């Protein structure tokens, strides 16, 4: 398969070659349990600590300020459920209609445990209404959960402003930053959020490993979802997956080495949209602050299923990979006020490290060719 024809980076990224090498070396040499006290265990623990240092440097925090998880979904569940179960007084949680399914489903589950959920709407560009957010905060509000970069639209939310508002009311903020790393400058220190979710496979690392940053001061109390050991500050039991963690660390180091790719991705996006411009299309959330890596476009009057059937050599999607098997329209697009029909005419194109301007232009031309052939026929 031609990697330059891959335009679904928001779903998952190819694993960087340096990451593959680091993981292969680890699998060969560091099979010991990092919790064991003998030489093999100490070697594995040293590999874990090195990876933690690489990740900490990238997101600008201490090496013990985050906990490894199996993926971003677990991190989100840990943050929301752990925070709710870790205290008895506050029962109210605020989030937004365009959040990832992992967050929305977790909030639905928390309702059954007694949580009261306020799901705020966004405007036609996917942006947050801060007046509505301010009014939604109650004395019993525990936390606000928000995506930093929306996975379907590329919209960047002003998380620092949300944190400032929340801090003024003694409310925690959880940030889903799975789509942030490598797409824009990011620092948990500058952000100031109580908890932040990360995912390795969104930043050219392996699947099956993620992390949850948990602020130490002011302290955030979390109830563990997994019991049975004393690793990870006593918050998540289980043997650490050394090779996955090493891959995560190598991916974090590679992100720092590829900071210039953001501008390259911008050129890819521009080439794609220019090629597409000969047919009627609409760019969703066009007026919002967005990363160049993700565009969601409606090919006006043209069912997106026809594109998938005729462009099998290219990889792109109709929205979040987590909802790819669902026949219903994208909940994120519906939250913008887009009709079900228009959502069914929309596709998400996401660019990344191995995208090229030439291939991006050809994708746009290929879509145009399909549309013109079907319309003309």
Whether residue 240 sits in one domain with residue 98? yes
Q: How confident is the model at residue 228 (pLDDT cuts 50, 70, 90)?
A: confident
Q: How confident is the model at residue 337 (pLDDT cuts 50, 70, 90)?
A: very high
114-154 pLDDT, tens digit per residue, is 999 999 999 999 999 999 999 999 999 999 999 999 999 99
Domain that holds residue 277: 3-13+259-376
Residue 333, pLDDT > 60, answer yes
Q: How far is CA 143 from the centre of its chain?
A: 19
Q: How confident is the model at residue 200 (pLDDT cuts 50, 70, 90)?
A: very high
Whether residue 229 sits in one domain with residue 338? no
Decide: pTM greater than 0.85. yes
Q: What pLDDT, on the 0 to 100 scale, is given for residue 46?
A: 98
Whether residue 141 sits in one domain with residue 284? no
Whether residue 51 sits in one domain with residue 32? yes
Q: Which of 231, 257, 283 is where one domain is finished? A: 257
Whether residue 144 sits in one domain with residue 175? yes
Better-scored residue on pLDDT, 3 or 276: 276
Give me the CATH number covering residue 349. 3.90.1150.10
Q: How confident is the model at residue 4 (pLDDT cuts 50, 70, 90)?
A: confident
Of 61, 106, 268, 322, which residue is the catalytic one?
322
Q: What pLDDT, on the 0 to 100 scale, is given for residue 259?
A: 87
Of the listed ranges 181-185, 229-233, 363-367, the one predicted with least confidence: 229-233
Whether residue 266 sits in one domain with residue 239? no
Whether residue 295 sits in one domain with residue 150? no
Q: What pLDDT, on the 0 to 100 scale, is given for residue 3?
A: 87
Whether residue 346 sits in one domain with residue 230? no
Question: Locate tokens 């509000």: which residue?
Answer: 141
Residue 231, pLDDT > 80, answer no
What is the number of alpha carbons within 13 Å of residue 216 lying toward its C-beta?
Answer: 9
Whether residue 226 sits in one domain with residue 142? yes
Question: Locate tokens 């462009």: which residue?
Answer: 311
Q: What pLDDT, on the 0 to 100 scale, is given for residue 374?
A: 80
Q: How confident is the model at residue 323 (pLDDT cuts 50, 70, 90)?
A: low
Please state the domain count of the chain.
2
* 320: nearest Cα among 311, 312, 307, 329: 329
20-59 pLDDT, tens digit per residue, is 999 999 999 999 999 999 999 999 999 999 999 999 999 9
Whether residue 109 sits in one domain with residue 99? yes
Q: Tell me the C-alpha distance between 84 and 56, whole Å.
A: 26
Q: What pLDDT, on the 0 to 100 scale, is given for residue 115?
A: 98
Q: How confident is the model at residue 335 (pLDDT cuts 50, 70, 90)?
A: very high
Name the token pair of 248. 């995560």
| Mean pLDDT rounded to a whole number for the chain | 95
Establish whether 268 is a catalytic residue: no
Residue 324, pLDDT > 60, answer no
Q: What pLDDT, on the 0 to 100 scale, is given for residue 326?
A: 61
The answer to whether the CB of 23 falls within 8 A of the CB of 250 is yes
Whether residue 221 sits in one domain with residue 77? yes
What is the percent of the chain where pLDDT is above 70? 96
């Amino acid at each position: 398969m031609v990697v330059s024809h891959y335009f679904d980076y928001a779903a998952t990224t190819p694993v960087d070659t340096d990451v593959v090498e680091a993981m292969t070396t680890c699998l060969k040499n560091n099979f010991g349990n990092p919790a064991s006290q003998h030489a093999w265990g100490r070697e594995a623990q040293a590999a874990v600590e090195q990876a933690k240092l690489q990740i900490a440097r990238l997101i600008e925090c201490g090496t013990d300020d985050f906990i490894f998880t199996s993926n971003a979904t677990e991190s989100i569940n840990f943050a929301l459920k752990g925070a709710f179960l870790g205290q008895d007084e506050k029962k109210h949680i605020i989030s937004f209609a365009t959040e990832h399914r992992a967050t929305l489903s977790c909030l639905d589950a928390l309702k059954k445990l007694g949580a009261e959920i306020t799901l705020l709407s966004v405007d036609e560009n996917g942006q947050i209404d801060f007046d509505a957010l301010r009014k939604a905060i109650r004395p019993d509000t525990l936390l606000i959960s928000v995506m930093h970069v929306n996975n379907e639209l590329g919209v960047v939310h002003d998380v620092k402003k949300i944190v400032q508002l929340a801090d003024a009311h003694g409310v925690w903020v959880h940030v889903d930053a799975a789509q942030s790393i490598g797409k824009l400058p990011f620092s948990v220190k500058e952000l100031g959020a109580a908890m932040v979710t990360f995912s390795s496979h969104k930043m050219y690392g392996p699947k099956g490993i993620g992390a949850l940053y948990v602020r130490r001061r002011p302290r955030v109390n979390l109830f563990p979802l997994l019991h049975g050991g004393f690793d990870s500050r006593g918050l998540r039991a289980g043997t650490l997956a050394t090779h996955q963690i090493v891959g995560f660390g190598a991916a974090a180091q590679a992100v720092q080495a590829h900071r210039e790719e953001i501008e390259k991705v911008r050129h890819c996006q521009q080439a794609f949209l220019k090629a597409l411009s000969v047919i009627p299309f609409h760019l969703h959330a066009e007026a919002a602050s967005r990363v160049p890596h993700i565009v969601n476009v409606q090919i006006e009057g043209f069912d997106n299923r026809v594109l998938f059937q005729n462009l099998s050599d290219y990889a792109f999607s109709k929205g979040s990979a987590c909802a790819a098997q669902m026949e219903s329209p994208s909940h994120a697009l519906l939250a913008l006020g887009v009709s079900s029909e228009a959502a069914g005419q929309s596709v998400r194109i996401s660019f990344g490290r191995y995208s090229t301007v030439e291939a991006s232009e050809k994708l746009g031309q290929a879509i145009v060719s399909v549309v013109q052939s079907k319309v003309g026929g």
